[in-house]
Structure 1
């Protein structure tokens, strides 16, 4: 069998004895991401890292002049993986701009669709893509000593997941042959069907609009959803303890492994799952309805929750350039000088951003990526927030804020409790995600993903119950009409699967004058900014120890790959394409003349 992880694409040694190694493109993600490193093999440490992306695609440019009502259909195509997250966020943004509040049932349906997407995407990424990094085949090629120990180590929760040893868990993750790997593929079908029941089509919704949804809500629709959801709930009762056993084992087998992918705890979450009893999408009330979300928005700095206000979060966003291939917009028009509450809006805020592409040769000491560098300004510093792959940054502020308590899930101020009801084969099960003592590292990003799968399932149970109450009461309206104003601004905040997602729109003369979507990947994959601050991928990789047992000539970079993939990279959201006015490739002398001139 051939190796399942390629080595570096280039190797050279500099004057300091550091070995240059690059992985471009990173595998098992949507492409265009390159990781370039310098490694000290004597000290077993990654000394330097640069994150690059070589494709430019400009939604912020070609959205100009479009009808605002088309925004969610167009921006959904930013990505073929999380397109529904973009459509949802765009509809939130439009709801604000149009001043429309969807009927409660419409919002419960949106929540059910988004919950299904989290379950689908996290499941297939965690079990079928990230899981490969920890499977028997992979570990046998990078750390045979660890596999030998795994085969001798009993799994503490074997009674819950049915695998006797850690080695058995690793074998179950082998691609295409592992039992758990194949089961996870089947589960992904259920969750995709759940999504389509609510939003018509995956991954570009056909029934999602500003003002609500076009889904016809019936008791049968909810029954079909809940039937699949309960199968997923039963699956999660096995998955959470299995991953806890696997991830805890790596800490025990490799002392110091908590330093792999470790960076300063700088986490951002824009919140998810609206509460329609509170949310009216008005900017003036955004702080209130943001805090009512079932995933609490927040910024965590060094383990402390510094805000849960979507107004503060919005006003703090800054788009820096630094090492990205763009010219600045300091002398161009400011679209929004004050927000609807009268707060000043910075020139580097997305409402005021201009996209000025400047292609050039890659230079690791200067410009080397098409990804811009979003930062969050706390009044003193431009913080390089990351999303923790999504779930880590969602669970952390939700836990600290203590604002969620719906029975199925509860935030305690220091943890998140998840209560899953009785299913066909198992009775009620409760899990508790606790703020990790090891901080924000590779293992904890992956662990949080598993717990958030269970969290999303538990929330979906609540949303389905709420939707059924509306249907049985005869409140089956799912869409509210609206008018597009001549001038307006809007912003939408939610969580894409991989983390923070915001859309910012300016309307003039009834058309889009400025539109900027900011998904999680620009926050995670960005290069060094104008202050020289490295992006989160770069920061998490450089300085981390190397535990791989292979020598430099056979080095595969497994710990580097685990760190990058723990963020759940998805580069289409980071960079976008634009052809300007177009280019004439060939001009024919006559309409009937063939291309060859014959």
Structure 2
């Protein structure tokens, strides 16, 4: 089939992939590709679904907030529930018992392990499997079959080609093993919080989990199996990703964008966290994942107060009306700092659907930005782990027996397990913020989460042995309150902002990582991170236009860990759709259809 030329030039062709999402199929990527230069020259990211949680949260009992917002997502609902509980703790002035917080940390650590594992190995990993590489870059596969894996003794695969074959969906050895591991990590979460993905024992003031030595022993036995698994995973992925740099000169440019990273921090230390706004900058720095903003490689802040006050919600090319003439809910924060009208505390959600127009309005996703005093920056989360590791490394504030930041890296030490000796891994700040490094960071953060969980188990057992078995603290709901919660959802920064009036929710805005990563062009014309990362991405795929699969574009988008596709369609500028049916995982014939 011949790809038709567009009116924009002989070598400029419009191609789109829509939907690209894991759940509801709402993410679309629309591109213009210069075939002569083998480069994407323009990209628009669209979202076709309006959710409206900020509208129907109004008037609700604040105590229901975590149960409701958990349903925002069927993948990371527990992250929303946790963030909402943090927000409520601040509003109610309640500080959970230490044991309750250690249990929440263990639940969140298990969620990181579960979600990153199943995404990395069973979803995005297929982009690098033997079948996909054979279809898109057969020359690269030939190199992979000849390339000896540097860490073969650690992971068991002699060549890079063997690693790729192990990632083949449904039949690859490693692919199937990872599926089994994901079951174990989900069990770990349920031990701590009752149910995955909508926790049943998580409340403001702590948890309803019955804490016993047996409970933590059951968690620990599963955790140690995961720790053993990670001793193979980290070196295996290092070998795979390093190979792509070597095999395809210039591949560091795929998905590369300016270093604009935001991490909101996660895993509170209950010995310091009192959930008060006045102390938020201090206890935020005690988190076991350090909050921060990185601009061009420099860590400009680690203060959650600064992070909070810098958030701006711009409408840009989204289907909403402005709220400049609407009520201001919060003029100043609890410390007396002025709060901008475009801050989530003051946001009004006024939907105005319209026909999609890439020169005007084209998406339901707003444009969150972080204002540094001069510019409204389109921060991304690096898919979550890249920003988390980067800020933690630079801040040099995390020091535990198993994880230590150094100022330029993060050191992860895993203890001896049943069949493998102790192992140490060091994530070093990379040269680029690109597709491969987002994926590499996801692997290292799995080991990070496992190592921190070992520490949390020790702390929880120490509480029980010391007779401190209380897991929940009672509270009262105030008539008036302003509060916020910050954590890291699996794929990046998550914040909830709440205003209470008359004992009811007057305003509530959750901001997960997807609006940050998948935002559209803002009112200044600045593209969102997906758009920015895809624009200027070079095309290294060996296929012709007629058989083009867009693998370099897909690797870029998936490196951010968006909600992955239930189905993918490629359409051309004439509106013709390529006659190819994709499987529910949307990895083309790499899945054998």
* TM bucket normalised to smaller: over 0.9
TM-score by length of 2: 0.94
Contact 1:171–1:178 (CA<8 Å) still a contact in 2? yes
Contact kept in structure 2, 1:525 and 1:536, CA below 8 Å: yes
- Taking only aligned residues, the RMSD between alpha carbons, in angstroms, comes to 1.2
Residue matched to 2:49: 55
How far 1:28 sits from its partner (Å)?
5.2
1:75 corresponds to which residue? 69
2:391 paired residue number = 397
**Equivalent residue number for residue 440 of structure 2:** 447
1:366-515 → structure 2 map (5 Å cutoff): 366-437=360-431, 439-515=432-508
Cα 1:244–1:431 change in 2 (3 A) is same
Shift of the 345–31 alpha-carbon distance from structure 1 to 2, 3 Å rule, reads same
TM superposition shift of 1:570: 2.6
Asked if 1:204 corresponds to 2:214, the answer is no
> SS of the residue aligned with 1:284?
coil
Following superposition of structure 1 onto structure 2, how do residues 85-234 of structure 1 map, counting pairs within 5 Å?
85-234=79-228
Give the equivalent residue in structure 2 for 1:578: none
Cα distance, 1:13 vs structure 2: 1.7
1:29–1:257 Cα change, 3 Å: farther
Partner of 1:3: none
What's the CA shift for 1:16?
1.9
Q: Distance in 1 between matches of 2:21 and 2:54?
A: 28
- How far did residue 15 of structure 1 move? 3.0
What is the aligned partner in structure 1 of residue 580 from structure 2? none
In the alignment, the residues of structure 2 paired with residue 202 and residue 31 of structure 1 have an alpha-carbon distance, to the nearest angstrom, of 22
Structure 1 residues 366 and 153: CA distance shift in structure 2, 3 A: same
Q: Given that residues 391 and 498 in structure 1 are in contact (C-alpha distance below 8 angstroms), is that contact kept between their aligned partners in structure 2?
A: yes
Paired position in structure 1 for 2:581: none
3-state SS of paired residue (2:139): helix
Give SS of 2:123's match. Answer: helix
Q: For residue 576 of structure 1, what is the aligned residue in structure 2? A: none
Distance in structure 1 (CA, Å) of the matches to 2:551 and 2:6: 20
Deviation of 1:14 after TM superposition, in Å, equals 2.6
> SS of the residue aligned with 1:343?
coil
Matched residue SS, 2:279: helix
- 1:272-318 Cα distance to aligned partner (Å, 9 max, x none): 00000000000000000000000000000000000000000000000
**Structure 1: 5+ residue runs without aligned partners?**
1-6, 573-598
Say if 1:110 and 1:198, in contact at 8 Å, map to a contact too.
yes
Aligned to 1:32: 26
For residues 498 and 27 of structure 1, do their structure 2 counterparts lie closer, same or farther at Cα, with a shift above 3 Å needed?
Answer: closer
CA contact (8 A) 1:11 1:22 kept: no
Maintained 8 Å contact 1:32/1:571: no
In the alignment, structure 1 residue 313 sits paired with structure 2 residue 320 = no
Q: Does 1:251 align with 2:225?
A: no
Does the 8 Å contact 2:311/2:368 carry over to 1?
yes
For residues 369-400 of structure 1, the C-alpha deviation after alignment (integer angstroms, 9 at most, x for no partner) is: 00000000000000000000000000001000
* Cα distance in 1 for residues equivalent to 2:192 and 2:367: 35
Name the CA distance, whole Å, in 2 between partners of 1:95 and 1:163. 48
CA contact (8 A) 2:317 2:521 kept: yes
Whether contact under 8 Å (2:517, 2:528) holds in the other structure is yes
CA distance in 2, matches of 1:58, 1:129: 28
Displacement after TM superposition at 1:527 (Å):
0.7
CA deviation after TM superposition for structure 1 residue 529, in Å = 0.3
Residues 400-459 of structure 1 show CA distances to partners (whole Å, capped at 9, x for unaligned) of 00000001000000000000000001111000000002x100000000000000000000
Between the aligned partners of 2:533 and 2:4, the Cα distance in structure 1 is: 21
Contact 2:367–2:521 (Cα < 8 Å) also in 1: yes
Q: Which of the numbers 545, 550, 554 marks the counterpart of 1:552?
A: 545
Q: Tell me how far 1:239 sits from its aligned partner.
A: 0.1
Q: 1:325 to 1:444 in 2, by over 3 A?
A: same
CA distance in 2, matches of 1:64, 1:485: 16
Change (3 A) 1:337 1:273: same
Correspondence for 1:570: 563
Do the aligned residues in 2 keep the contact of 1:399 with 1:411 (CA within 8 Å)? yes
**Cα distance per residue 1:495-524 (max 9 Å; x no partner):** 000000000000000000000000000000
Quick one: distance in 1 between partners of 2:321 and 2:4? 32
Work out whether 1:539 is the aligned partner of 2:532. yes
Contact 2:356 2:362 in 1 (8 A): yes
Residue 331 (structure 2) aligns with: 337
Q: Whole-Å Cα distance in 2 between the matches of residues 13 and 457 of structure 1?
A: 50
Q: Distance in 1 between matches of 2:51 and 2:57?
A: 12
Cα 1:362–1:12 shift into 2, 3 Å: farther
After TM superposition, the structure 1 = structure 2 runs for residues 324-363 of structure 1, keeping only pairs within 5 Å, are 324-363=318-357
Separation (CA, whole Å) in 2 of partners of 1:469 and 1:514: 40
- For 2:513, the equivalent position in structure 1 comes to 520
Distance in 1 (CA, whole Å) between partners of 2:561 and 2:461 is 34
Judge conservation of contact 1:240–1:450 (CA < 8 Å) in 2.
Answer: yes
Q: Which runs of 4+ in 1 moved over 4 A?
A: 27-30
